[in-house]
Amino acid sequence: MAMYFMRLISGLMLYLIASVVNAQIQVQDDLKRTVVLQAPAKRIISLAPHVTELLYAAGASDQLVGVVNYSDYPEQAKKIPQIGSSSKFDMEKIVSAKPDLIVAWKSGNPDGQVNELIKLGFTVYYSEPRHLDDVATNIQRLGQLLATTDIANRVAQEYTRELNRIRTEYKERKKISVFYQVWNRPLLTINGEHLISSVINLCGGENVFASSKIFVPQVNVEAIIEKDPQVIVVGMNEDRKDWLDEWQQWKALSAVKNNHVYSVNADLIVRHTPRVLQGARILCNDLDEVRKKK
């Protein structure tokens, strides 16, 4: 009888241990790291504006306890306490917020500060979407960490359907060469690995600096004249309207000569969120306008 009870207790212990293990949430982040939570995240810090948007898209409501500056979408994100910028955040504020999950951005956050947070014992998930399909997978994974999979899956599926609609619509379009301006002084653009380049390709365009080995290369006007793109697209916000006017001095460029200099709200094309398809629609329409002229 004693042996029977020992086996019963032993079996019960194994069951309880297995239940605890199964209760864990395990998700692989964009750096192929396994991120483990013992329970759904309730106190989250976002270290990038695109991360903030993705968290809300995945179903976050009141879980965010800290964001970096420029986390301005959706509207409720503006009410979250700020803990610095993507490139330099306040460690003391992060620690005092007692987050159970920190979502970082590998290419935009300082490695030293993020590594220090990991050493302090905080759970860090890296969000690094590089391609348009990665937006949907990021939403789904964050939904797992939040235990909001129903919402996250629905949003991801809606995003994927729209992405596929645009792909189908533009896959046979005539190719248009494009120069995309990230910044004016110094003059910065993007290579073929950047999300913006994926948007250009989606619309039937070709990034003239796609072959650059640098993610965000600095270029000069002479190099752009040599490439002579059919279209120039300026990623800008309201305070950058003068960037468009600056191109008018370069009449040697076909894009300038033919009035093919366009602008897209930078937030709609540079952030790795569902809104990138809004920016894609704008860019696609601009390239279609050029095709109609030809």
pLDDT in the model for residue 110: 95
pLDDT in the model for residue 237: 75
Report pLDDT digits (tens) over 136-150: 999 999 999 999 999
The C-alpha angle 155, 138, 24, rounded to 5 degrees, equals: 105
Of 138, 167, 168, 139, the residue nearest 59 (C-alpha): 139
Q: How far apart are CA 113 and CA 111, in angstroms?
A: 6
As a three-state string, the secondary structure of the chain is: CHHHHHHHHHHHHHHHHHHHHHHCEEEECCCCCEEEECCCCCCEEECCHHHHHHHHHCCCCCCEEEECCCCCCCHHHHHCCECECCCCECHHHHHHHCCCEEEECCCCCCHHHHHHHHHCCCCEEECCCCCHHHHHHHHHHHHHHHCCHHHHHHHHHHHHHHHHHHHHHHCCCCCEEEEEECECCCCECCCCCCHHHHHHHHCCEEECCCCCCCCCCECCHHHHHHHCCCEEEEEECHHHCHHHHHHHHCCCCHHHHCCCEEEEECHHHHCCCCCHHHHHHHHHHHHHHHHHHC
pLDDT in the model for residue 17: 44
Domain segments of the chain as ranges: 22-156, 173-293
Domains 22-156 and 173-293 share a fold: yes
Task: CATH number for 22-156: choose from 3.40.50.1980, 3.90.1150.10, 3.40.50.300, 3.40.50.920.
Answer: 3.40.50.1980
Neighbour count for residue 192 (Cβ, 10 Å): 16
pTM: 0.86
Report pLDDT digits (tens) over 254-285: 999 999 999 999 999 989 999 999 999 999 99
Report pLDDT digits (tens) over 194-213: 999 999 999 999 999 999 99
Query: What's 173-293's CATH class?
Result: alpha beta
More confident residue, 22 or 184: 184
pLDDT mean across residues, the chain: 91
Of 237, 238, 257, the residue nearest 247 (C-alpha): 257
